[in-house]
Amino acid sequence: MKLNFWNVINVTVSRHPTKYLGEEYQRLVRENLNWEIKVLESASEPICIVNGKEVLMLCANNYLNLATHPKVVEATIEATRKYGAGAGSDRSISGNMIFHEELDRRLAKFKNAPASLTFQTGFMANEGLIPQLAGRGDLFVSDELNHGSIIDGVRLSRTDRAIFKHKDVEDLARVMEEAEKHDPPYNHIWILTDGVFSMDGDLAPLPEIARIGKEHGAGVYVDDAHGEGVLGEGGRGIVSHFHLRRDEVHVEMGTFSKAFGVIGGHITGGEDLRNFAYNKARTWLLSGAVPPGVAAACIAAIDVLEKEPQHVRRVWENRNYLLEALKDAGFDTGNTETPIIPVMCGKSKTARDLADFLWTKGIFVLPIFYPMVARDKARIRVQLCTKHTTEQLDRAIDAFEEGGRKLGII
């Protein structure tokens, strides 16, 4: 059929091009898979105001409470007053300010690495760099439970892809051995893994992954978003935690939006990595630089981690206290090894019902369900912070026990 202007208008109207959006949303509601977004009306602290209600916060990434640390807040204010609210451009053009360069240097020093490069977000670091690391004739090998930003980064590339079973180094070795037989041989192979898996709180077996990577001449890329500030010497992350060398883990990616308490992403490794990334990663090249106040706040957060190690110790004390109590109460807490504690519920409706019950008790948690986790693996994801008191944790334990018995979880 030959289409003229009027034909196009009629086709567009008759098909209702956005109707399916509402239909899909209603399906999510029916299946208890929709997000119900609440509004934080105060600072992110253990006790805060959400939807007009005072609650105990147990679902923030603000592990060390640096988002409200006086030194971090003051650094934001001072830099903003002096340098303005925005950088005015991309870092690649005219927005590369002294705070950005200083942050790159300070982060590399903190990580005991030759170089670092900061991005606007952690998601943008993965989505910008990963597609540039490899192309046609190359291979990405990824843990099956990797973060969505890694998955999207791989999808944006033109590489072959292979998946290995979660944390299964024998399966990884099998995949790598098969890759060796590829004809023609792959030019480059990269192994991609989360450091801390954000939905389960478990750690990647990074030493074994690094060993297999070395045996096969593959690059190793680790997303340590939830490990920084929590793992390693003084919160220096998973590479430090496992005492690995920089020639064993080639890219350590991270974020300032969790334990550092601010916003922004970054990569750490060699000088060649930094030079490659800022010339190739489109998310870095084509996005506005973070405001000077944000960069200054990130530098201040590094200062705090270097000078106040008690924050890291305290978050682990809180984590151990709550984890043992939940286990003693009969909850399945999965295989967590970090301050992320999954409380397994099974069905998405059960997780939602438990979260709703806890809300009535003044406890703010969120249900996590498909597609963020597998079907019938829904859970409440509890995240601890430095400032939680024992009394607050006891209150949470009592509420979890009451809700768990009521819903038949324990």
**Distance between CA atoms of residues 269 and 261, nearest Å:** 23
Bridging pattern class, strands 189-194 and 219-223 = parallel
Residues sharing a CB contact under 8 Å with residue 259, sequence separation 6 or more, in sequence order: 61, 62, 63, 64, 66, 228, 229, 230, 235
Which one of the listed residues 250, 258, 377, 387 is annotated catalytic?
258
Q: Which of 69, 111, 216, 226 is catalytic?
A: 226
As a whole number of angstroms, the distance between CA 97 and CA 132 comes to 25
Q: What is the Cα gyration radius of the chain?
A: 23
Q: Is 226 a catalytic residue?
A: yes
Closest CA to 126 of 206, 218, 220, 192: 192
The active-site residue out of 116, 198, 240, 348 is 198
Residue 17's contacts (CB-CB under 8 Å, 6 or more residues apart) are none
Both tokens of residue 86? 């925005």
240 is catalytic: no
CA torsion, points 406, 408, 409, 410, in degrees to nearest 10? 90
Dihedral sign for Cα 29, 33, 34, 38, please. Answer: positive
SS3 category, 223? strand
Supply angle C-alpha 5, 9, 15, rounded to 5.
145
What is the distance of C-alpha 43 from the center of its chain?
Answer: 21
Nearest 10 degrees: CA dihedral of 171, 255, 344, 56?
Answer: 170
CA distance 388 to 116: 32
Residue 182 to residue 62: CA distance in whole angstroms:
44
Going by C-beta distance under 8 Å and a sequence separation of 6 or more, which residues neighbour residue 164? 141, 142, 143, 144, 171, 172, 174, 175
Is residue 166 flagged as an active site residue? Answer: no
The token pair at 142 is 């990824």
Positions annotated as catalytic residues are 198, 226, 258
